[in-house]
Structure 1
Amino acid sequence: MNSDSEPELSADTLQILQQVMREQQEQEERFEQLRQQALKDKAEEEAITMDVFREDWQLSQFWYDDETSETLAREILDNTNAESLVCCISSPTVYVKLMSMDPPGKNNMFLFEFDTRFEVYGRQFVHYDYLTPSEFRLAEELKGSVDLVVVDPPFLNEDCLTRTLETVKFLLKEGGKIVLSTGLVMAPIAAAAGLELTTFMPSHRNGLWNDFRCYVNYKPSRFTLKA
C-alpha cells in the first residue's frame, strides 16, 4: 500500500463504529420524538430520562449519577409544596429526575439551561447563558419570587460562580433556599455568599476528578451541615 492510500479499518473496529453510529441514531430519533411532543404541549416528563441526552464536554456537561440526582430532587420536594417556585440552574440532571417523579408543583418548576435540547420541557425551559443573564426570558416574571434554587455552575472558576450567583440573587425571594453544587475549591466564594458546606458530596456518572461538594443557606433535610 502506497502513502497515498486511505487507511482501512479492521473488521472489529468497523463493527464497533457501526454499533456506536446505530446507538447514536436511535438516541437522536428518540430525542426528536420528545421534541415533537413538547412542541404539541404533550411532553411526557415522566418518560424523559438523562439517557436521551449525551454529555457534551465542550459545554462542560457532566451528568450526576442516579443517587446524586435523586437525593437533590428529593431535597427539593422536602422543602417545597405545590405553590412553591423552583429553579434548577445549569443542573438538568436534577430537573429531569424531579420531573420524572411527577411532583405536584411541576408547573412551577423551571430549568435554566444553555443546552437547547432541553426545550422538550416547553415553557418551563428557560434558555440561560451565565455570561448574559439579563437576556433570559421570564426574568421579570420570576424576579424575587423563587422559593428554592438548585444550581451547578457549568465551569469551575470564580467568574462563572460569581455571575451565576448574581442570577440566583435576582431570582430568589427573601428567605429563599439555595442548594449549590460545585467544587471544594469554590468554598471561599460560597461562604462569602452566605452558603455553608455540607457533608453531601455529589458524584457523576462518568467520574470527575474535581472534589465536588454541596453548599446551602438553610438546614437541609437529606444531608447535614459540615461541622
Structure 2
Amino acid sequence: MNLAGEEINATAAPPPESSRIQDSVNESPPPESSRLEDSVNEAPPPESSGIEDSDDDDAPPSLSARALQALREFLNERQEKEGSLDDALDDAMDDAVELVSEDWRLSQFWYEPETARTVAEEVLAIRAVAGSSCNVACVSCPTIYAYLKKMDPDLPAHVLEFDERFEQYGSDFIFYDYNQPIKFPSAMHHAYQIVIADPPYLSQECLEKVAETVSFLARTEESFLLLLTGAVQEERAAELLNVRPCRFQPRHCSKLGNEFCLFTSYNPQERLGGWAL
C-alpha cells in the first residue's frame, strides 16, 4: 500500500461541507429587511391628505382643522338645499287640487296647475276691485273653478258642466249642454259679473253657441269675460265676443298640439302679460 500517496491525497482533499456552507452564508447578499429599509428611506414623502398622523396605528384617522371646516360648510349647504326642496314640495302639495280623470270622449283636457292658478288669481284680482258680491260663472272649465274655490272657499261661483261627475260640487254645479246654450233657470240671466269660458271643441259652431251662453249669463254692464280657446279662433272670438288675446299662454297637462290663448274683454294692464299687440 502506498501510504505516502494516501497521505498526500488526504492533505489535498476539499474542505468539509460545513465549511462551504459557512462561506456561502458569508458571501450572500444583504437580507431582505435591509433592502426594504433602503427602499423606504429612498421613497418620497406622501402628500398631505388633510388627515393627521397618529402614533397609534390602531387609532382612527383624524381630520385637520381646515378639512373639518370644509366638511361642516358642505353639510350645512346641503341641509339648506334639502330644506328648500322640502318646503317647495310641501307648498306644491298644499296647492294641489284633486280633479276627476280626463275623459277624452268629452273633449276634457285639464290645465296645468300654473295655468289654473294664474287664471284664478286674475279672477280674484278683478273681484277685489269689483266687490265681494261679484258672482263668477265657469263655463266648461272645471279646473279653473276648482282652483278658485281652493284659493277662496267663500267665492260665489258656479261650474257649468256636461259631465255629471262634477255634481260632487253640490249646488255650485249646473248641468250645461252647449247644444242648448241658454237652457238655464231665469235667475241666472245676466247674473254674473265675471264669466270664464272654455268651449269644449275648436269648431266655429261650438264657439258661436258658447258665445250665446256668455251673453245670457253676463251682466249687461261692467262684466268681465275670460275666454280660453285655440289661437285659430282669434278673429271669430273678436267678432262674437269683442275679446283680444293676452300674452300669457295657457298650457294643458296633456300637452295638446294646438296653440291656446287666453282672451279677455278688458285690458288686464300688466297682468297676464297684457294684451298682445
TM-score (norm 2): 0.61
Match status 1:126 vs 2:155: no
CA distance in 2, matches of 1:127, 1:110: 10
CA distance in 1, matches of 2:257, 2:124: 29
The answer as to whether partners of 1:130 and 1:164 remain within 8 angstroms in 2 is yes
Aligned partner of 1:153 in structure 2 is 199
Deviation of the 1:135 alpha carbon: 2.7
Aligned partner of 1:91 in structure 2 is 141
Deviation of the 1:122 alpha carbon: 0.9
* Equivalence map 1:43-122=2 (5 Å): 50-80=97-127, 81-104=131-154, 106=155, 108-122=156-170
Which stretches of structure 1, 4 residues or longer, exceed 6 Å deviation after superposition?
none
CA distance in 1, matches of 2:196, 2:182: 19
Structure 1: segments with no counterpart, 5+ residues: 1-46
CA distance in 2, matches of 1:166, 1:158: 13
Deviation of the 1:49 alpha carbon: 6.1
Query: Which structure carries more relative contact order (alpha carbon 8 Å, separation 6+)?
Result: 1
Q: 2:213 aligns with which of 148, 164, 167?
A: 167
CA distance in 2, matches of 1:50, 1:212: 22
TM-score (norm 1): 0.74
Aligned partner of 1:44 in structure 2 is none
Aligned length: 177
The answer as to whether partners of 2:140 and 2:197 remain within 8 angstroms in 1 is yes
Aligned partner of 2:56 in structure 1 is none
Aligned partner of 1:226 in structure 2 is 276
Aligned partner of 2:224 in structure 1 is 177
Computed over aligned residues only, the root mean square deviation of the Cα atoms, in angstroms, reads 1.7
Deviation of the 1:51 alpha carbon: 3.6
CA distance in 1, matches of 2:250, 2:264: 13
Match status 1:206 vs 2:269: no
Deviation of the 1:145 alpha carbon: 2.3
Deviation of the 1:52 alpha carbon: 3.8
Deviation of the 1:50 alpha carbon: 4.9
Per-residue CA deviations over 1:32-70 (Å, capped at 9, x if unaligned) read xxxxxxxxxxxxxxx996544100000000000000000
The answer as to whether partners of 1:49 and 1:96 remain within 8 angstroms in 2 is no
In structure 2, the residue corresponding to 1:175 is in which secondary structure? coil
Aligned partner of 2:69 in structure 1 is none
The answer as to whether partners of 1:187 and 1:197 remain within 8 angstroms in 2 is yes
The answer as to whether partners of 2:194 and 2:225 remain within 8 angstroms in 1 is yes
CA distance in 1, matches of 2:171, 2:195: 18
Larger radius of gyration: 2
Q: Which amino acid aligns with 2:167?
A: E
Structure 2: segments with no counterpart, 5+ residues: 1-93
Q: Which amino acid aligns with 1:155?
A: Y
